[in-house]
Structures are given as structure tokens and as C-alpha cells.
Structure 1
Amino acid sequence: MSRSKRREAPPDPEPLSPVIDAHTHLAACGGRDAASVAAILDHAEAVGVRGVVTVADDMVDARWAVAAAEWDDRAWAATALHPTHAGDLNDETAAELRAMAVHPRVVAVGETGLDYYWLDKSDDCAPKSVQHESFRWHIDLAKEVGKPLMIHNREADRDLLDVLADEGAPETVIMHCFSGDEAIARECVERGYVLSFSGTVSFANAASLQAAARVVPDELLLVETDAPFLTPHPFRGAPNQSYVLPYTVRALADIRGTDATELAAHLYDNSRRVYRLALPDQ
């Protein structure tokens, strides 16, 4: 596929309703004012995506996420410092994040966790010790405000699970864009964590991840775009948005050997329960 072809947005999928995009980045998709957010969500709703959780990487992103959730009642926010930005945690940002965490439109503390992939690839990536300190702070914040903890984990499976065990996990832990193997998935399931799968589960080279997706019980499963990243097969490399979500739901249904409409219903109910969203029954 040519580079120009890869940059074309995927066509609209056949509608699949209802579903919730459990993790997206509206600002990075161009949603930086009320009109652009509404346009993204109108497009998504046209194919059955009834709402999204828009997620922060840094303080600027966190402010955008809260704003989007205030502009449109189909959006909710999750706010935190991404582990690569863990060095930005100080008294001032901690106070602002704590205030955001109690906002009624903020439904999770995240994305936080550990990212070892970027340690030796980016001069701006926070070192391990700083990531661990920030991660523990966010764990405690989630427990303090009684909201789910949304986890970012990249190449840090064992350390991340050990920190959660040592610090004491909050009632609800969401493993965003789950990337582990079957053994890690089983350990997360045993702990009662929620596993959220993105378009990566549909990739041709994702056999290990697909095996993991098969062992997660229906009630611990979420689906997400992580837009504008991780566009599912066969559109890998193209720009992603929440309207693309039904492709991933159908791929996940095929992997799990279940009906896509039934899986969508489970995912919708799980999103409502996990994030405590005020939405009608499907």
C-alpha cells in the first residue's frame, strides 16, 4: 500500500450499535473546540458509537479532555500524566489533577502507569524511578476519589503488576490498550482488572495478543480506538477516529468466536458499569 493510500481515512464501517469508545484522544484527532468535537462524535454516532472517554497524556491534554466533556454530553474525560511525562508531577500539577479528578465529567484517573519502551529512545521520557513515583501517586489519587484507574503499560508488565499489588489497587483497574500475552491476561483477570483492546488485536502479527483476548471473560472486556493511533486491520497506518470502532469490535468477536452484536451489547454494558456512565440501556 502506498504512503498516500495509507493516509486516507478508513471508510465508514457498517453500523454496530450500541458501543462506547473506552479510550480516545479527541484533541489529537482535531477536537479542540465544541464544533470539532461535535463533528467527531456525530460521525461516530452515525455508526453506533454512542459516546467516548477522551484521555489525557499531559497537563495541556488534560485540560482539553475536561473541556471536551463539558462541551458535549457524549464525551467523558480521564485525566492524569502519562508515564513518559511523569516528571511533570509537582505540587502545582498535583493540585490541578486532584481538582480534575473530582470533576463530575471525569470518569477515570488515567492514563498512568509505566512505559519502558521510550526510556532509551527519547531524551524527554521520564526515568524509571520518576515513573514509579508518579504511578504510585496516581494509584492513591484514584483510591482517594473513588474512580477507576486507567493503566498505560508498555514493556513493563511485571513491574507494573508488582507496583499495583504493593501500593494496593483501587476497586477498578482498566488495562488500556492491553498488550500482554495470555499469561499476563490471566493474571489480570484473576485480579479482577478490566482489559481494553484496541485495533492492535486485529493485526496479522498479533497471535499472542489474540490468545490473550480469548481468555478474558465478557464482563471484564472493553474496546477502544486509542485514536488517532492504532487503526485496525486492514487500515493499519491510516488515521483513526472513534467512528472506526466497529471494525475492532467485529475483529474481536471473530477472535473470540462470538456474534458481533452480542459482543457489542456486553461491551456497552461494561462501559456503562465501569465508568458509571449515565446512559440508557442498550
Structure 2
Amino acid sequence: MPVVDAHTHLDACGAENATDVAVLLDRAESAGVDRVITVADDLASAHWAADASEWDDRVFAAVAVHPTRTKDFSDADKAALEALAVRPRVVAIGETGLDYYWDHSPPEAQHEAFRWHIDLAKRVGKPLMIHDREAHADILRVLGEEGAPETVVFHCFSGDLDFARACVAQGFVLSFAGPVTFKNSGALREAAAWVPVEQLLVETDAPFLTPHPYRGWKNEPYGAAYTIRGLAELRGVDVADLAGAVSATAERTFRLPSATSDLSPRAVLR
């Protein structure tokens, strides 16, 4: 049963053109990862991701400016993102949020940009993809103050069980990456074992966060196969059943065509 990689960075994995994207997706598909969402972290990658989503029908895109890059977030950047956000294969606004680990952008700029992205997601009617690093309480506070979009996805969920419960109670979707397969990630694994499957996604965040048993190596979308297996073991369920349920959650969350849809040809520019 195939699974969707709900968050990857194909450009950071080394892809530059349609041929490169096809190579990455062929490798992923051979491991059971049949669709991906490639995610932007600045304006240049937002343009690239939106274009890449039209090169291969296994690829969808999310566009935003990463919180660590918001120091110089301009009106021109906002206008460009608004134009990209309405493209049909752009399925989410992200990744956006708050990052208190790095000091590349001051908190004030991050908060202003986060609020703007929340508003954009609501205006275009697409899910908001959250980057949350050491900012749990402020993320929830800002979402509460602004009013969360209909669909909110916590990319690379990093909280414990209590935070997972708070997010799930608000209807948010939690996406787990490679660290959930690490035996020393006790609090994260406890959360992942509990999250209802209807609010559970799997991602790679490639080329980062490679799952066990290849931790420390460069990641690619095929790595989601190891994460879904690790999650199935953790939750005590059949891996094919979990992959099918997680893919159904991804299709519902991002309004993706089903894996059997004939809406578009495979690898249109390959």
C-alpha cells in the first residue's frame, strides 16, 4: 500500500529540473511512496516548487517564506506568494510559523509574517503548514488570536503527548518525520502512538531527518517508507493498513486526487 510524503524539499535534495524530479519520484515510488508535497522556504523555492508540481503528477507544492527568512519579508514577496498560492497544484501555505532555535530573523518579524500567512491560507482556502521549533505555546496563541484556518498541519511534529492532545482537540493534523523512529525520542514516540489516524501524516522533510536505520545520511522521499514502518511498529498495527489510512488523511487534508485517479498523465514532462 503506497503512502504520501506530506513534506519534502525536492530542490534541496538536488533536483533542478523535470528529469531530476522524475528520478527522485521513481526512486520513491519503488519504495512505496507514490506522491509528495514539495515545500518552499523562500520566494525562489516557492516559484520552483509551484513549477515542479506541474512537471510530474506525483508532485504537489506548498509555498511560503520560512520563519527564519522573514527578516526582509517585503510587500513584493507577499504579492508574489499570493499569485503562487492560487495555482491549482499548490495545495498548502507553508512552511510558516515560528522558530526560536535559530536567530536569523527577530521574533517580531516572524510573528508578523506568521499572521500574514494565516490570513493568506484563509483567503485562498488552503491548509496552513506549520513550522514550530521551540515555540509551541506561541504558535497556539497566535492561531487562537488570528483564528486558525479550516485545516492546520503541524509539519515535523516535535511536541509531547500533552501538546499533541491540545493540537488534536482543535482539529489540527500532526505530521511525523524520521525522529519518530529514533528509540531515544521517548516523548515524541508516545505522542505518535496516541494521535488518531484521521489526524496523522508521515513526511521526510528531506534531505533532512533521515529515519532509522539510516539516521545521519542524506534523506530523500523514499525515506517515508521507513518512517511509516516505524510508526506501524510503534502503534502495533499492520503497515499496509496504516499506509492506506495515512494516505487517505493526506488526500483529505490537501484535497489530493486519489492514487488511482486519471486526472493527469504520469510525469507530463518526462
User: Which residue of 1 is the match for residue 264 of structure 2?
Assistant: none
Q: TM-score, normalised by structure 1?
A: 0.91
User: Which residue of 2 is the match for residue 216 of structure 1?
Assistant: 195
Report deviation, 1:220.
0.2
Are residue 184 (structure 1) and residue 184 (structure 2) matched? no
Whole-angstrom distance in 2 between the partners of 1:132 and 1:198: 25
Aligned to 2:47, the other structure's residue is in SS state: helix
User: Which residue of 2 is the match for residue 7 of structure 1?
Assistant: none
Q: Deviations over 1:11-57 (max 9, x none)?
A: xxxxxx21110000000001110100010001111122111000001
Report deviation, 1:131.
0.3
Aligned to 2:70, the other structure's residue is in SS state: helix
User: Which residue of 2 is the match for residue 57 of structure 1?
Assistant: 41
Aligned to 1:70, the other structure's residue is in SS state: coil
Report deviation, 1:185.
0.3
Q: Deviations over 1:231-271 (max 9, x none)?
A: 00121110100112111001011111211111001011011
Report deviation, 1:198.
0.2
Are residue 130 (structure 1) and residue 109 (structure 2) matched? yes
Q: Deviations over 1:132-183 (max 9, x none)?
A: 0000000000000000000000000001110001110000000000000111
| Cα RMSD after superposing both structures | 1.0
* TM alignment of 1:7-26, pairs within 5 A: 17-26=1-10
Structure 1 gaps, min length 5? 1-16, 120-124
User: Which residue of 2 is the match for residue 202 of structure 1?
Assistant: 181
User: Which residue of 1 is the match for residue 67 of structure 2?
Assistant: 83
Report deviation, 1:281.
5.5
- Structure 2 counterpart of 1:146, from 120, 125, 134: 125
Report deviation, 1:219.
0.2
User: Which residue of 2 is the match for residue 274 of structure 1?
Assistant: 253
Whole-angstrom distance in 2 between the partners of 1:165 and 1:199: 29
Whole-angstrom distance in 1 between the partners of 2:13 and 2:2: 22
Aligned to 1:88, the other structure's residue is in SS state: coil
* TM alignment of 1:18-57, pairs within 5 A: 18-57=2-41
User: Which residue of 2 is the match for residue 122 of structure 1?
Assistant: none
User: Which residue of 1 is the match for residue 223 of structure 2?
Assistant: 244
Are residue 260 (structure 1) and residue 260 (structure 2) matched? no
Contact (CA 8 Å) 1:148, 1:172: kept in 2 or not? yes
User: Which residue of 2 is the match for residue 117 of structure 1?
Assistant: 101
- Structure 2 counterpart of 1:231, from 210, 215, 219: 210
Aligned to 1:67, the other structure's residue is in SS state: helix
Contact (CA 8 Å) 1:32, 1:68: kept in 2 or not? no
User: Which residue of 1 is the match for residue 141 of structure 2?
Assistant: 162
Report deviation, 1:73.
0.9
Whole-angstrom distance in 2 between the partners of 1:153 and 1:271: 20
Q: 61-70 or 180-189: which moved more?
A: 61-70
Q: Deviations over 1:39-81 (max 9, x none)?
A: 0001111122111000001111111111210111110000001
Whole-angstrom distance in 1 between the partners of 2:185 and 2:260: 33
Q: TM-score, normalised by structure 2?
A: 0.95
Whole-angstrom distance in 2 between the partners of 1:96 and 1:255: 42
Whole-angstrom distance in 2 between the partners of 1:240 and 1:280: 23
- Identity, % of aligned positions: 59
User: Which residue of 1 is the match for residue 87 of structure 2?
Assistant: 103
